Structure 1
Amino acid sequence: MKKSKYISKYDYIAYYTKPKAFWFYTNTEIESSLETIYRKLSKNNKDILYDDWDEDSINEADDEKDSYQFYLEKKEELKNIDLNNPQIAEGIIIDKESKKFIIETYNNSFDYKIVDFDDEIYKYKKMEELAEITKDIILNNKNVIIFQGVFIDKNTITKPDALIKSNNNIIVIETKGTSTAKKHHFLDLFYQKNVIENQKYLIELDCIFDYKLCLVKYEILNKYQISFSITDYINYTKVYSDNSIVQKSPFKLELKAFSKLGYHVVKSSTPREPNGDDGIPIRLKAVLNHNLIDFDERICNARSNKKDIEASQEDFLKVLNEYDQVIETLWKHKLSMKETDYIKEIHPNSNDKSRFKNFDYFPEERKIYSLMGYNRLSYSGNIAYQDSTSLDKAKINENPLDFLKESKDQKCSYKEIFTSSDLIKVDYEKTQKLLDQLKTKKVYFDFETINTAIRSIDKSLPFAQIITQCSIIKDLGQNVINAGCNNMIIDPTKINDKWLMDIVDNIYAGNEIKYSKKDNEYIVDGDNNNEISYVVYNKTFERSRLKEIDLKLNNKEYTIKIEHIINNLYDIADFFTISAKRGYYIFIKELKGFYSIKKVLPLISKYAPDIFNLTNCLNYNDLEISNGRICQEKTIQRFFKSINDEEWLQLEDKLKTYCENDVRAMIAVEYFIKDILNNKIDFSKE
């Protein structure tokens, strides 16, 4: 740990978003410590905790990695940053292009002087020197734009991404590599306000301050492009963006259709009146000045209800009222630390599930907590209380009766099934009925994607999940065991519409589609076109990607194919999901409420090794590319050209092996289910 003289905005945000054990440690140090602790704890543990990054608990709608903030933090903590890191590569682009956008936005009305403290001439100056230079620039220039200027107030320091001074009006802009204004952005700007507005020379100038966010603009652009917009709104609940979206795209993208896919859609760059449909927006300036407005009954009864709004108001008020206390707490903690200190102990903490979350270590922490004996962290959050309040109360060797959620339906009592002595419970009638829906002809397939702020395909939106791999095994009557796997992969620098068409063509196994000159449209040849099941694991993901391809291609022939695939999707994960509404099909106590393929496949290897070997499955932990996160990171590295042509060719086989294993695992799961129904699996053996 490198001790600094000051508390930074990252330290302040950490107070609300990281456990106390992580305060003042860099993200690199935290990641290294978590890995060390995990290795130590798991060394003699028989239960291998497989990565469940692919579990459906991950919120795709909020899966916008802020590469710009990652880049800034790494630049602060390391002298030499890893330019091969895909987030660093993207962060550098966002940094360059956002600065250009801010200059173009504000420099058209006045002739501003431009100062960038990232320039080489400032590189080796001390922070105190840079603070004095910032002061001189502000006092001696009527109109100036300063990037990364330095402000010091007692034991606090900040470097706003951009500060625009015009006469005595000052606008502070924080750039974010996301397309939506998120809740933790408020913490960032509130800290900046307290440090900057406490500068004696600015008080004497009697400046008028305003605060804004520079966000990734939600509009359609071509490959390797990015654009920005500036907003002075933040959201009370969930996320909110006032960015515009192209209403009539080159491929006739319909806003209504896109909205159905879960995207936030607004019709202009001006925020509409709050109506609760997409959260409650409020001006940053109002919140920062303690002006929390009251909402009328119409808004409170909308989707974002009164309870949610009041909870958010409480969060904001707490932050607004305790600034000095938080800084004092951080400072005392900082003084008590030594440079030789390292992270020794962690325990469940409310900040693991902070409502201001901006950097999530929880998946890694949860595995460690589980090994430490915190039972509730060994269970899926779908069935065990793991909110911020519950984590504060977590105890080692806690009884499941104390943390399992209450079922709202008598069909499925979590406490009853998880505390019983039964290792497996099967609803035979319901499970057989679901299995009977699986048709004789089957196509098993799996997607891997990348999603970046920088567009990875022409005519696309930021953070679009673009498919880079698709593994397919077809069982159209032959023995599926002997069927080969079609491992489709594309160099991410070459993604185009033709690639998306190829994916659909290779998955589709229905009747031939012909063009009718008479009707001037494409029609399906034959009537019996629903005798095929398209098997996936957790169909929400694949269905969303297929709908996006349909919208992107806007081609009648492919619409027919995609609709056929979607209408015949078969989700084999359903057999292991537990729901208060549906009850369960197959309950295996050892899964503890999880159902991802990374959790189920090891049970097949353990209890049905013949099936595991017959379907040619591999142990995920033995693969060099062992989960979707690594797969995505490596592919994004290639997209930003951090991996050269030769390295990519070598990497392709490893990526294909991982994706193929997901598909073969689906077949293994199907065989496993059939053997369970036939009582062929002995779950009592070790």
Structure 2
Amino acid sequence: MNRIRLSKSRYCKCVQCKKILWLDKYKPESATEDNKEAIFETGKNVGELAKGLFGDYEDIDFDKNLSAMIEKTDELMKNKPNIITEASFTFNNNFCSVDILKNDDDGVEIYEVKSSTKVKDIYLDDVAYQYFVLSNLGLNIKKACLIYINNEYIRDDELDISQLFKIEDLTETARQKQAEIRENIERINDFMQTHDRDNEPETIIEKHCFDPYSCDFWDYCTRDLPKPNVFDISGMQRRSKFKKYHEGKVSFRDLENERINRKYLEQIDFELNDREPKIDKYAIRQLLDSIRYPIYFIDYESCQYAIPELPKTKPYQQIPFQYSLHIIPEKGAPIEHKEYLAEAEDKNIIRNFAEAMIEDMPEDGSVIVYNKTFEATRNREIGEMYPDLKGEMERINGNIVDLMVPFRQRNYYTKEMQGSYSIKKVLPALYPDDPELDYGKLSMIHKGDEASEAFVKLKDKTPEEQKEIRNALLEYCKLDTLAMVKIWEKFREVTD
């Protein structure tokens, strides 16, 4: 039979679900458009940095003509000992590029690079697949290893890649998986031979749809389920959703009398019966009574670097780079607005952020946030990094009031919130026809991950582009704190 071309990424997709490969080939337009550019960029940057771990190396440039990469690898393999990055091989139509190949006189060592901070099961399949290809070409594989991020590493002024990366020896695991790899490859080929364009394979909805990665074809494979369904219940654990699904309890009507959490039943009830908003005025008044002037409505934006860019920071540490602050100095006073946005080239972002915030919130009024955990954790981290600021960070944390609590506890709930207490669901539920509060109408940035990605890329932009992006960041963050002001006003309105 004609064997399909597999790569290590395609093989790993099939380990998760063989139908992904069929859908990729015959229905690629059915994939949900999900911006993974930032993830790919992170992986690429980490991979490039790791290439220098073993000294000088010879790199194979990517070429759509895979044969050219394989031929270049063959040439370089003769110059042993050497280090080859993206060394490319094929066996029986199974192709792989090895991130780092130590090509010694007595054999080779495989190093797969990941931007993760831990060893995941799917990485074992990835490394074992490469072992399969190279060993079947007659290469003596001395070691097969995974290189990944050490998230305990704290950067000094200079980056130390020997400390940034961990290396895990997976040689024995890779060897033990060889029979499994061979069987899987045969099954994948049989599957694709059996199911051509006009013979779509059966869809099996199971936990593998999200493990190890959320499948881009989830919406396609669940297109015939009733709407809303068990997978739309906010907060329910995924395994519980699948349990109900396999019991045939799929639609909200199926679930309305089930013995499940009351919050899930409440979401179902409000959806099915179009209930009026539920407002616990006593609970909301208690929260309002805890608020003291001056009132500081504040929201942070943060970003993460897999490769720490700032001294004293760890990989993937949350770096607060921006805040918006709406202030009501006293009862009846007009609202003031202040904001901070770090410079893209600033090497002291966290301290400058903290000092600006301390200056803008000098008094012991209430600090209003939406989801206390995030801001409070960042403040504690700042206090640990800069002991001279710890007292001020503790003062601010001691004044925090979490505006999310009434929604999380369902003291205030409407059908439109769809079981969620995210501000992106709550705000349009409270103000459905206010264009000023519509995140969709913002010019460029509409959610937190877009803000993070925009800031990370800021220094690579032209001055004109930087100005446009910075304005969009300020616009987005300002709406977050305006949203909190409007929620506070709604609380006052419904409790009058």
TM interval, shorter chain, is 0.7 to 0.9
1:622 aligns with 2:448: no
Q: Tell me the alpha carbon deviations over residues 348-393 of structure 1, each in whole angstroms, 9 at most, x when there is no partner.
A: 5533321x23x6659x949996997252233213477666666677
1:328 aligns to 2:261 (yes or no): no
Q: In the alignment, is residue 94 of structure 1 matched against residue 46 of structure 2?
A: yes
* Partner of residue 671, structure 1: 489
Mapping 1:189-200, distance limit 5 Å: 189-199=127-137
1:503 paired residue among 344, 347, 356? 356
1:103 equivalent in alignment to 2:55: yes
Could you tell me which of 66, 71, 83 is aligned with 1:127? 66
Residue of structure 2 equivalent to 1:258 = none
- Determine whether 1:483 maps to 2:483: no
SS at match of 1:149: strand
Aligned to 2:345: 493
Q: 1:227 to 1:664 in 2, by over 3 A?
A: same
1:602 deviates by 0.5
Distance 1:148 1:182, change over 3 A: same
1:456-467 to structure 2, matched below 5 A, reads 456-467=309-320
Work out which of the residue numbers 224, 231, 256 in structure 2 matches 1:377. 231
Q: Which residue of 1 aligns with 2:412?
A: 586
For 1:576, which of 383, 407, 410 is the aligned residue?
A: 407
How far apart are the structure 1 equivalents of 2:93 and 2:21? 20
Whole-angstrom distance in 2 between the partners of 1:66 and 1:232: 26
Q: CA RMSD for the aligned pairs?
A: 4.0
Residues 166-181 of structure 1 aligned to structure 2 (within 5 Å): 166-181=104-119
Residues 405, 564 of structure 1: alpha-carbon distance in 2 compared, 3 angstrom cutoff: farther
Q: How does 1:265-284 map to 2 (within 5 A)?
A: 284=170
1:216 to 1:414, Cα distance in 2 relative to 1, 3 A: closer
Shift of 1:659: 0.5
SS in 1 for 2:54: helix
User: Is 2:428 the counterpart of 1:602?
Assistant: yes
Provide the rounded CA distance (Å) in 1 between the counterparts of 2:485 and 2:280: 21
Map 1:376-525 onto structure 2 (within 5 A): 376-382=230-236, 397-399=251-253, 401=255, 406-407=260-261, 412=262, 414-415=264-265, 418-419=268-269, 421=273, 422-479=275-332, 482-496=334-348, 498-510=351-363
1:561 shift after superposition: 1.0
- Three-state SS of the structure 2 residue aligned to 1:399 is helix
Of the three residues 448, 451, 457, the one matched with 1:631 is 451
Indicate how the Cα distance of structure 1 residues 391 and 115 shifts in structure 2: closer, same or farther if over 3 A, else same.
farther
Change (3 A) 1:367 1:11: closer
| SS of 1:534 mapped into structure 2 | strand
On the 8 A contact 2:206/2:242 being kept in 1, the answer is yes
Q: Within 1, Cα distance between the matches of 2:162 and 2:115?
A: 9
How many angstroms apart in 2 are the aligned matches of 1:387 and 1:155? 39
State the secondary structure of the residue aligned to 1:34: coil
1:493 Cα offset (Å) = 2.0
Unaligned ranges ≥5, structure 2: none
Q: Given residue 116 of structure 1, which amino acid in structure 2 is its aligned partner?
A: D
Q: 2:477 aligns with which of 642, 653, 659?
A: 659
For the residues of structure 1 that align with 2:464 and 2:283, how far apart are their CA atoms?
A: 51
Q: Indicate conservation of the 8 Å contact 2:324/2:339, yes or no.
A: yes
Moved more, 429-438 or 396-405: 396-405
- What is the rounded CA distance, in whole Å, between the counterparts of 1:622 and 1:96 in structure 2? 38
User: Identical aligned pairs, as a percentage?
Assistant: 22
Matching residue within 139, 147, 161 for 1:214: 147
Specify whether residues 553 and 623 from structure 1 end up closer, same or farther in structure 2 by C-alpha distance, changes over 3 A only: same
**Counterpart Cα distance in 2 of 1:474 and 1:149:** 58
Aligned counterparts of 1:570 and 1:653: Cα–Cα separation in 2: 28
Q: How far did 1:576 drift?
A: 0.9
Matched residue type, 2:449:
R
- Paired residues, what number? 486
Q: Match for residue 464 of structure 2?
A: 646
Q: Which structure is higher in helix share?
A: 2
Structure 1 letter corresponding to 2:492 = K
1:438/1:159 CA distance change after superposition, 3 Å: same
CA-to-partner distance for each residue in 1:415-436, whole Å, 9 max, x for gaps? 2663364433344444433333
Give the letter aligned to residue 567 of structure 1. Answer: G
- The letter for the 2-side match of 1:97 is L
Q: What displacement does 1:671 show?
A: 2.2
Structure 1 position 506, deviation (Å)? 3.8
DSSP-derived class of the 1:163 partner: strand
Output the CA distance in 1 between the equivalents of 2:309 and 2:215: 25
Query: Deviating runs (4+, > 6 A) in structure 1?
Result: 391-396, 402-405
Tell me what 1:34 maps to. Answer: 32
Distance in 2 (CA, whole Å) between partners of 1:630 and 1:404 is: 39
Distance 1:367 1:577 in 2: 31
Partner residue in 2 for 1:353: 210
Code of the aligned partner of 2:431: S
Aligned partners of 2:375 and 2:255: how far apart in 1?
Answer: 36
- Check the 8 A contact 1:215/1:228 in 2, yes or no: no
Please report the TM-score for the alignment, with normalisation by the length of structure 1. 0.62
- Amino acid across the alignment from 2:124: F
Greater Cα offset, 320-329 or 597-606:
320-329
Instruction: Measure how far apart 1:565 and its partner are.
Output: 0.8
Structure-2 change in CA distance of 1:565 and 1:461 (3 Å): same
Q: Matches of 1:9 and 1:103 in 2, distance apart?
A: 26
Paired with 1:367 and 1:671, the residues of 2 have a C-alpha distance of 43
Where does 1:49-198 land on structure 2 (aligned, <5 Å)?
Answer: 70=40, 87=41, 93-103=45-55, 114-118=57-61, 126-128=65-67, 130-131=69-70, 134=73, 137-138=76-77, 140=78, 142-198=80-136
- Residue pair 1:537, 1:666 contacting (<8 A) in 2 also: yes
The residue type equivalent to 1:630 in the other structure is E
Q: CA deviation at 1:170?
A: 2.7
Q: 1:124 to 1:638 in 2, by over 3 A?
A: closer
Q: How far apart are 1:587 and its partner, in Å?
A: 3.1
Question: Compared with structure 1, are the counterparts of its residues 6 and 499 closer, same or farther at alpha carbon in structure 2 (3 Å cutoff)?
Answer: same
Instruction: Give the letter aligned to residue 207 of structure 2.
Output: S
Aligned mates of 1:671, 1:457 — CA distance in 2: 39
Partner deviation per Cα, 1:131-178 (whole Å, 9 max, x = no partner):
46545654x455232211222221311111112133334321011123
Q: Name the amino acid aligned to 2:344.
A: P
Q: 1:92 to 1:191 in 2, by over 3 A?
A: closer
Distance 2:466 2:222 in 1: 34
1:566 to 377, 389, 397: 397
Question: Are the counterparts in 2 of residues 451 and 464 from structure 1 also a CA contact under 8 Å?
Answer: yes
**Counterpart residue type for residue 102 of structure 1:** F
